[in-house]
Every structure is written in C-alpha cells, then in structure tokens.
Structure 1
C-alpha cells in the first residue's frame, strides 16, 4: 500500500498519467495503422503465405515497440531532468533524493514502457486471427481479412477513447479515426503496382 501511495504521489507531481495516456492513444493508433498498412499490402500482393505475413507483422510490432520505448525514454528523461534542474535552481537546493528527484528518474521509465508496449500489444491483438490460423489451420477462414477488420475496429475504438477523453461525441471521434484508416487503405490501393 505504501508503494502504491508513493507511486501515486510521483504521478501527481509530474502529471505523467496525462503524458502516458497521450502516448497510449498516439502510439496505439500508430501500431494499428502500421499493421493495417502491412495487412493491406499482403492482401493486395496475394502471394505471401501465413508464416511470412506473421513474421513480417511481428518484426514490425517489435520495431514499433522498441522505437516507442527508446524514443520516449530519451525525450522524457531529458525533459524531467530539465524540470528538476529548474526546480533545484529556484529552491537553491539539491532535490535528487526528494520525491521530485525520484519522479525524474522513475516516471520516464513508466512513460517509455507505456509508449512502447501499446503499439506492440495492439499489433499482437490484430495478429491474433493470423496466429490462431497458423496454429490451428482451418479454424479461421480468411484470417488476413479478419485481422484487417480487427485493425479497423481497434482504430475506431481508439477514436472512441480519444473522444471520451476530450469530451467530444464518442461516435464522431471514432468515425474520424476510421476515416483516416479508410483513406490510408485507399492510398495503398491507388499505389498498387500495375
């Protein structure tokens, strides 16, 4: 309980929950849209087998996750250290052992994990029909199409979540993100090699 209270204090000091929530939506959207792009590319090529599709999607998911973790950690750690230094200068005191100092060290890690795990987990969820079909052939018909549909659903749900956060009408927010997914799909179709 003490650890939870201390963690809550660190979150409140830095307001990192707002940053983590923003990263959750942004990188979740990036992960879902990247998977949608890959799936549409495979669908249009009509040449890749299921193992290849899973391998490529998994590679992209890992890359998105690692990029999210490292980029968020580097930027958030620098930002928190700058804020801590500014606070130390204002208070004429070393705050490295204070709650502010702990927050400057711990919260970039939490934000980075959120930033990286979100696109990775969303990509894995989208890949579930492909993975199940690979493990149990014949259990799911048209796994590529179902995974693509799942990507659209997740993109819509992320829009709904964003709408709830912002106080806008949830359905309209979901439709806007779905529209982005549809435009992405259309562009992929238009760029299809002849």
Structure 2
C-alpha cells in the first residue's frame, strides 16, 4: 500500500479528514494574518533595513510553525489516547496493534505537521518578495507592499477554500476573509498611526 493510501486509511479510521482541513485553513489564516500585521507594522514605522524586516518575519514564521506543531501534537495525542481507551473499554480488548491503535499513534503526527506547516509555508510565501529583493531581483513594487499583497492573496485563497469545503460561494467566502484582512490593516493604521 502506498504511503498516501496508508495516510488516507488512518484518517478514515479516525475520522480526521475534517480536522486536517480545519487546521490547514485556521492556522494558514493565522500565519497569513500575522505576517500581514508584521508587514503593516514595518510600513507604519520608521524605515528599517530589509535584513531586519526579513529576519523578523522569518523568526515569526518559525515561531508560528513550532507553536502549531507542538500544540497540536500534545493535544491530539491526549485526545487520541482518550478515544482509543474508550474504544478499548467498550470492546474489552487491547487495540494497540489494530488500525485504531495505529491511527491513535500517527494521526497526531499528521495533524501536528499540518497545524505547524500551514502557517510556516504560507508565511514563507508571503516573505518571498523580501528574499527576492535581497537576492538582487528587481520587483515592480516595493517588497513590503508586494509581501502585503501576497498576504492578502493567501488570505483570500484560504477563504475561497473554506467556501469550497462548505459548498457555498467561494467568491463570497474569499471576499469575507479579505474583509477581515482589511479591518486588521485599518486597525493597525488607526492604533499606530
């Protein structure tokens, strides 16, 4: 059996597909909004060296990723052990080597990877314009503004994904998440400007 089929089977046995989708979107959204806030914070502040901006964004991305991995792993291990224990009690048998036992061991790892990977990867995509300028590429827009635009795009895409999952208008869902981003930017300008 291929690794992807094994993963799908573990997710099916533990009914965890929805959990992975939620963590992908929720923590991806958190990562994108955090990066947007950081970028806007730099835009409203005294000009800073691009190295400092990039390092601050990268440090935040790493922290978001580590927080996501560790918090999801710890909480999912506890929940999976609890569920497996209840199932074992009701079946009066040890299920450690069963599909349910394997799912109880591996689903927390998968959830942790998605939970931490989503904000990390999305954050890295958002700060890509900063790295491109540092590598000598010429961009048509200032790198912080372009990074802010990428953040907005990521937020909109995550909203559209939510719309597709919920089987509602993906355009409306994307626009709703963009509205959240716009309110966030407005609050930052209002409170710091």
TM-score over 0.5 for the pair: yes
CA deviation after TM superposition for structure 1 residue 147, in Å: 0.5
Contact 1:40 1:188 in 2 (8 A): yes
TM, length-normalised to structure 2: 0.96
TM-fit CA distance, 1:138 = 3.8
In structure 2, distance between residues paired with 1:3 and 1:165:
24
**Count, aligned residues:** 193
Distance 1:49 1:101, change over 3 A: same
Alignment-derived partner of residue 51 in structure 1? 51
Given that residues 132 and 140 in structure 1 are in contact (C-alpha distance below 8 angstroms), is that contact kept between their aligned partners in structure 2? Answer: no
Q: Report the Cα distance in structure 2 between the residues aligned to 1:42 and 1:16, rounded to whole angstroms.
A: 39
Q: Deviations over 1:103-129 (max 9, x none)?
A: 000010001000001100000000010
Counterpart contact for 1:129–1:140, Cα < 8 Å? no
The structure 1 segments of at least 4 consecutive aligned residues displaced by more than 6 Å after TM superposition are none
C-alpha offsets along residues 59-95 of structure 1, whole Å, 9 cap, x if unaligned?
A: 0000000000000001111001000000000000011
Which has the higher mean CA deviation after the structures are superposed, 137-146 or 82-91? 137-146
- 1:2 to partner: Cα distance: 5.1
| CA RMSD between the two structures | 1.3
1:24 aligns with 2:32: no
In structure 2, stretches of 5+ residues that fail to align are: none
Query: Normalised by the size of structure 1, how large is the TM-score?
Result: 0.95
Cα drift, residue 136 of structure 1: 0.8
CA distance in 2: counterparts of 1:58 and 1:170, whole angstroms: 30
* Residues in 1 aligned to 2:126 and 2:165: alpha-carbon distance in whole angstroms: 24
Aligned to 1:37: 37
Whether the 8 Å CA contact 1:10–1:102 is kept in 2: the answer is yes
Q: Which residue of 2 aligns with 1:63?
A: 63
Partner residue, 2:117: 117
1:190 Cα deviation (Å)? 0.7
